[in-house]
Structure 1
Amino acid sequence: MAAPRRILATVTGSPSHARAVLPFARALAAAGHEVVVACPEELGDVFTGFEVAPAMPPMAAAVATLRPALAELAGPPDMDVIMPLLFAGPHVADAVRALRPVADRLAPELVLRDGTELAGLLLAEERGIPHVAAPSGGGQRMGPALVDDALRARSAELGVGPVTGADLHRHGRLDCLPPGWSFAAEGVAPAWSYRQDDEVARGDVLPAWIGELPAGRPLVLATIGTALPMMAGREGGPPGDGPPVDPSGTLRALVDGLADLDCEAVVATGGLPVADGAPAPEHVHVLDWVPQPLLLSCADLLVTHGGYNSIREAVRTGTPMVVLPQFGDQEANADRVGELGLGRRSGPGDVTATCAAVLADGDVRAEVRRAQRAMLALPPVAVAADDLVALVGT
């Protein structure tokens, strides 16, 4: 066993970002290493059992600083414009300053960061210690060239470096998909791949009534993830190059589309209302939350917003997908799901037809099972603990 090391985990964004870091933080702690998690206060509950330093600003703060910058741009911004501002804009220098006291107390030997969290990278470069990125949807699109200028600017503000795009993944990055099913954009460094954890949240159980659903019909899970509920009610919604998203309208499209499908459906709303308030039919079960990885283990189809956590969980359970993207990396993820043969993209008005087509498509089922077998052949996340601490002192 490696000598105990001190690890700082840095997280921002939505709960899905935190849950992508959690299995690796847990593996490090189980191997006897000291792990302190720096995150926004709103994400602290994800890391029960860890020492949590609520030092990171919430993503809402980043979005607030982003909107004036977007207003100065000519033409509609796309994600390649938004990502450097959102994840490496001036607010990130403030996040580094907030992290410094945490690092002074811990004296970390390694930084494990959320894949789009760059304050941890800058702090690690400042202190000359290795840093590694956890799985992340946005991180799959974040290549060195995309954030090079922004990282140079932030490191100059902080008196560090210079830190450049070449430093983004120079110590490595982590993923939980097999290399042949990568969602990484061109230029993003290859990842160390581990098997997706099948129980990120410990002790979850399905509601008893799910066990009583008719077994002769396909079971469909539909969900909009965690970021959209966080964005609900926030002025302007998430930043992006398309029209503002409408989470309640998306839920309405899911309920209406599944109403006309011969299935048993579970729609997880994240606590948001379904637009118009019309009741769902008897075979469409609407609830705030369901333990998604557990239900996917017995589902025939996942209708998803295209979040990267959900995609990995569907591959882990061999579940075909219909993707109804909302914003950000979800657009590219939806296209990649189709390219890989793991499912199909849908629009709000095409939910019924797309779901029916995927449920009837044996080629999709076969390809998802092929990806699942490749994932099951990967080493477990527990192995990552030794791989990560091996970087210390190199």
Structure 2
Amino acid sequence: MRVALLTTTQHGHLNPYVPVVNALQTAGAEVDLLLLSADGGALDEQRREALGKARVHAVGQVEMAPWSGDPAKIGPMLRSSPVADETADVLRATAPDFVLVDSLPVTAAAMVGAHASGVPYGMIWANLGGVCPREHRRGRWLYDEQVGDYLTRHGVLWSTRTHSARSPILNLMPTIPALVGGDAVTDDGVQLVGLPGAAGTRGDEVTFPGLDRLDPDRPVVYVSFGTIFYRRPDLLRTVITGAAATGAQVIAAVGDLAEELALPDDVLTAPYLPQREVLERADMFITHGGYNSVAESVRAATPMLVIPLAVDQPVQAHFVGSAGFGTALAPADVTGQAVADAVTDLLDPARDYRARLRAAQPECGDAAARTAELVIDTVGTLQGQGER
């Protein structure tokens, strides 16, 4: 059995999908990883080793900037993109039994290529957009409408209730009921498969000796705006200093901004941190709301202050707030005092944030293992139908 998985080189997508590739291989499948290079990104050697025997194929380039620019340019950009043809060519050449496509607007041309290739395909998500009611995507409607028009013109199913693509065969959402609740749109065939972020190598592991210097008598606040959206030095400085003003010990992932931020000496920083390990030590997490970060915070039972900066992050902020796993603060409302007030609230045990997160732990499961199980079962069913 041969399975392909298509995603981008972004950390927020490789992080949850490296375990999926490995779970598929453990289940006995041969795996092809089809990678769209996002903003010129490439697969580093550490991640390549984490993928085991999976074959890696480049399927073209995508740029992130247009998705925060003029929405009217999205449709023409998709229609002129070579990615659809490149994807179809790679799938026809590798001839997998099934391809699982990372469903997000930037991969829309690749979805068209998967559809055109004739290979059976399913959809999987690396954010909560696939089950989010459209009213919580208002800021993305103009982009969504361009994507929906493009996909439907090429025969790809489109959910108008969530403004996202659908497969006629298999739709997998890596989340849990405790996070998305009854608000989630799942009655059109979307299956919840547990949270990403379970233990296991994924190729981004680093060490951080600073964890041994933490003061056990102070609460720990972890700050990270991810690997793409962190370049907001004024915002990041305000958030960190606001959190530190509460007396908490602050650990922050700051990329290459450490000197520019000029932070207090007792704030611990690094360009990139072992997030799962840090979250296990943290009492709360200030995040941009990338889904990988949100899911790992839920797993660690660490309450969140979500400051959504772009794209799908307001969707995650909505679900975190509605689940009672944390609060949200719009970037325009961020001041040192607002951050300090939110940190104080989230650290208050009487507010029950951590209790709600702990109650959700039995649901977390292993999204990678469950995804592999469902894909293998689906391929078996398809092959059985073909033999009759």
C-alpha distance 296-280 of structure 1, shift in aligned 2 (>3 A): same
Count of paired positions: 346
- Which segments of 5 or more consecutive residues in structure 1 lack a partner in the other structure? 72-81, 156-161, 233-246
After superposition, the Cα gap between the structure-2 partners of 1:102 and 1:220, relative to the gap in structure 1 and judged at 3 Å, is: same
Contact 2:111 2:156 in 1 (8 A): no
Match of 1:90 in 2: 79
* Change in CA separation of 1:189 and 1:283 when aligned onto 2, cut-off 3 Å: farther
1:122 matched to 2:112: yes
Q: Is 1:341 matched with 2:302?
A: no
| Cα deviations by residue, 1:323-361 (Å, 9 ceiling, x for unpaired) | 111112212322321111101112421111101111014
Check conservation: 1:198, 1:313, Cα contact below 8 A.
Answer: no
Moved more, 19-28 or 196-205: 196-205
Greater mean alpha carbon deviation, residues 341-350 or residues 47-56: 47-56
User: Does the C-alpha gap of structure 1 residues 170 and 249 become closer, same or farther in structure 2, counting only changes over 3 Å?
Assistant: farther
| Aligned match of 1:198 | 199
Residue aligning to 2:356 = 367
Bigger shift: 129-138 or 196-205? 196-205
Partner of 1:305: 288
1:221 aligned counterpart, secondary structure? strand
TM-score between the two structures when normalised by the length of structure 2 = 0.79
Please say if 1:355 is aligned against 2:343.
Answer: yes
Q: Does 1:59 align with 2:40?
A: no
- Among residues 226, 235, 239, which one is paired with 1:254 in the alignment? 239
For residues 120-161 of structure 1, give each alpha carbon's deviation from its aligned partner in whole angstroms, at most 9, with x where no partner exists: 433333204132314324444487x965422123x1xxxxxx
Within 2, Cα distance between the matches of 1:163 and 1:40? 19
Structure 1 residues 148 and 65: CA distance shift in structure 2, 3 A: closer
Q: Following the alignment from structure 1 to structure 2, what is the Cα–Cα distance between the partners of residues 70 and 287?
A: 39
Counterpart residue type for residue 327 of structure 2: R
**Length-normalised TM-score, structure 1:** 0.78
Q: State which drifts further: 177-186 or 49-58.
A: 177-186
**RMSD of equivalent CA atoms:** 2.9
Q: Which amino acid aligns with 1:366?
A: A
Judge which range, 93-102 or 198-207, deviates more.
198-207
Preserved CA contact (<8 Å) 1:114 1:136? no
User: Counting strand residues as a fraction of each chain, which structure ranks higher?
Assistant: 2
Structure 1 range deviating more: 348-357 or 193-202: 193-202
- Paired residue for 2:127, among 130, 136, 139? 136
Using the TM superposition, give the Cα deviation of residue 384 of structure 1 relative to its aligned residue in structure 2, in angstroms: 2.8
Give the match's secondary structure for 1:149.
Answer: helix
- Select 2:158's aligned residue among 162, 165, 168: 165
Read off the aligned partner of 1:8 and give its amino acid letter.
Answer: A
Runs of 4+ in 1 over 6 A off after TM superposition: none
For residue 105 of structure 1, the aligned residue among 93, 98, 118 is: 93
Distance 1:216 1:269 in 2: 25
Sequence identity percentage: 24
Cα–Cα, structure 1 residues 57 and 304, in superposed 2: closer, same or farther, change >3 Å?
Answer: same
The corresponding residue for 1:288 is 271
- In structure 2, the CA distance between the partners of 1:35 and 1:327, relative to structure 1 (3 Å rule), is same
Helix, strand or coil at the partner of 2:8: coil
**Shift of residue 314, structure 1, vs aligned partner:** 0.5
For residues 295 and 273 of structure 2, the distance between their equivalents in structure 1, rounded to whole angstroms, comes to 17
